[in-house]
Amino acid sequence: MAEEVPASGGLRERKKRATRAALVEAAVRLAAEHGVEHVTVDAISAKAGVSTRTFFNYFDSRDEVFVMVAADSSDRVRRAVLAAPVELPPLEVLREALAAELGEVEQQRELWQLHAEVLRRTPQLLARSIGAHLADELGLAETLAERIGAGSPLFDDGRPALDAEQDLERRRALGLYPRLLAAVGTTAIRVAVEHWSVRQDEAAFAEVFRETFGHLAAGLPAPPRPADGAGGR
């Protein structure tokens, strides 16, 4: 739901981001209240204060508003990875690119939780969401490969829809390191969000996010054993 993070850029781009975010929020809140099966494009558009025609400027179908919520965010992360200073190590580059998109997780906690609940209650949307997540991860891996000089001739930052054979070719062209780094990075986001969600009185999300990547950067050494009765994140 990173569309809610303020963006740099011109007024037109900020308005587009705001409209997309309003449509996502409207869809999620309507689905949480009434169930996805009772939510229409007209209802989503009306709640967001835009026309149905405007809705289809951003999404191809009603279901896509629940599944492709982070498409713009993923594009920005990939651009940030490619634009980062060359001297930075790949894990740090990925951390900073992701941090820029997750700056308002604390403010958007309720919406994140509602969206997760909507997906859990709607198996077909959950399956599509997982597929979209895997496609984003593949695109991020390709971007990381390009970043470290191990890019493939199949790399295309536009990433149009591909058939199964072309998708397999893309995966074969990728090395293990960028695929692992992309998977670790996206998993780290999920773990940090879930961990913070149940411990919000202990730390800010940014602190948990940084700590998560700190563990990765250190090679995941075992933490020191806590003293008897001591807690810890």
pLDDT value at residue 33: 95
Residue 229 is assigned to a structural domain of this protein: no
Q: What is the domain-level CATH number for residue 107?
A: 1.10.357.10
Count of other CB atoms within 10 angstroms of residue 77: 26
Whether 65 maps to a domain, the answer reads: yes
Strands (E), 7-64: none
Question: What pLDDT sits at residue 230?
Answer: 54
pLDDT score for 108: 79
**What is this structure's pTM?**
0.79
Task: Tell whether the model's pLDDT for residue 199 goes beyond 50.
Answer: yes
- Kindly state the percentage of the chain with pLDDT values over 90: 52
**pLDDT at residue number 228:** 59
Q: pLDDT tens across 123-138, in order?
A: 999 999 988 888 889 9
Q: Is residue 228, in this structure, part of any structural domain at all?
A: no
* Structural domain harbouring 177: 2-217
Question: Alpha carbon of 146 to those of 67, 162, 166, 209: distances in Å?
Answer: 27, 19, 18, 25
- Residue-wise pLDDT tens digits, 14-43: 898 889 989 999 999 999 999 999 999 999
The share of the chain scoring above pLDDT 70, in percent, equals 87
